[in-house]
Amino acid sequence: MPMDRYRAANLAQWDENVDIHYRSDFYGVERFKAGRTKLHDVELREMGDVRGKTLIHLQCHFGMDTLSWAREGATVTGLDFSPAAIAAAGRLSDESGVPGRFIESELYDAPNVLDEKFDIVFTGVGALCWLPDIRGWARVVSHFLKPGGVFYILEGHPVLWSLDDDTPENPMHIARPYFESGAPQNPEGWNEEEDYAETGEKLQNTRTYTWGHGLGEIVTALIEEGLRIEFLHEHKVLAWKAYPWMVRGDDGWWRVPHHPERLPLMWSLRAVKEA
């Protein structure tokens, strides 16, 4: 089946990425061990106080964001489909001395693997594009939340994912599907010889597949699963350099240099599960 092929290709690259990311300056594991957080200021500000709360991080990779929430006082669980990532997350917890639990599972199968409810469900940057079914994702989010629990996400904007990679700033070109269609945004897959951490190391598993989800589709899926939206913010800054013409500010965020009003780069949302 095509979906099995897409999953296998994505998993192969993510398993390969783990060791590269763990050693890369992009992720900065040594800085994290020295006490730095992986979380952005906007995440800390918009999430609020997590002290004494239980938190599950969906699609946690090797757990730096997860363990950063533990440093803020939460009792954390990370979940990811990559066995290499889960092993590295346990290693990072041990080496940093920051406690966390990590579980290997496909996202959609997670309710069958873990029978718990949490005060907070968190999804970090760069996660949703790897999922083919946003309604299925929303069901998982709702499943893990206690009544009154909080869901929070900061993510790349769906409009950003739909732009042509080689588009100039003026004019920008829509080249890929914005809305979810069931098929990957690029049916042939992305063929990337080097990883986004920019280490210069060549990948053995070069092909991956991603999916588009419109902002309205994402928000509606959460509402239909019993979540009440507290806010939805769209941001003119980005956590990574998506296009060669973007410029980095003194604050570390990437921006559209000449027409920032034309393109939303990220979005963040906080919601509460109704009792």
Structural domain that includes position 206: 2-273
Q: For the domain that residue 175 is a member of, what is the CATH number?
A: 3.40.50.150
Whether residue 9 is predicted with pLDDT greater than 90 in this model: the reply is yes
Dist. CA 253–CA 260, nearest whole Å: 13
Residue 244: predicted pLDDT: 85
Nearest partner of 6 among 182, 137, 192, 196, judged by Cα = 182
pLDDT tens digit string along 186-222?
888 888 888 888 788 999 999 999 999 999 999 999 9
How confident is the model over 143-149, as a mean pLDDT? 98
| Token couple for 49 | 């106080």
pLDDT tens digit string along 30-73?
999 999 999 999 999 999 999 999 999 999 999 999 999 999 99
Residue 166: predicted pLDDT: 72
Whether residue 1 is predicted with pLDDT greater than 70 in this model: the reply is no
- pLDDT band at residue 169 using 50, 70 and 90 as cut-offs: confident
- pLDDT band at residue 161 using 50, 70 and 90 as cut-offs: confident
What are residue 134's phi and psi, to 5 degrees? -75, -30
Give the CA distances from residue 145 to residues 64, 119, 218, 268, 272, in Å, rounded to whole numbers and listed in that order: 22, 6, 17, 18, 9
Q: What is the chain's mean pLDDT, rounded? A: 94
Residues near 197 by beta carbon (within 8 Å), at least 6 away in sequence: 17, 20, 21, 24, 26, 27
How many structural domains is the chain composed of?
1
| Token couple for 169 | 């700033």
HSE-up (13 A, CA, CB side) for residue 41: 5
How confident is the model over 21-30, as a mean pLDDT? 95
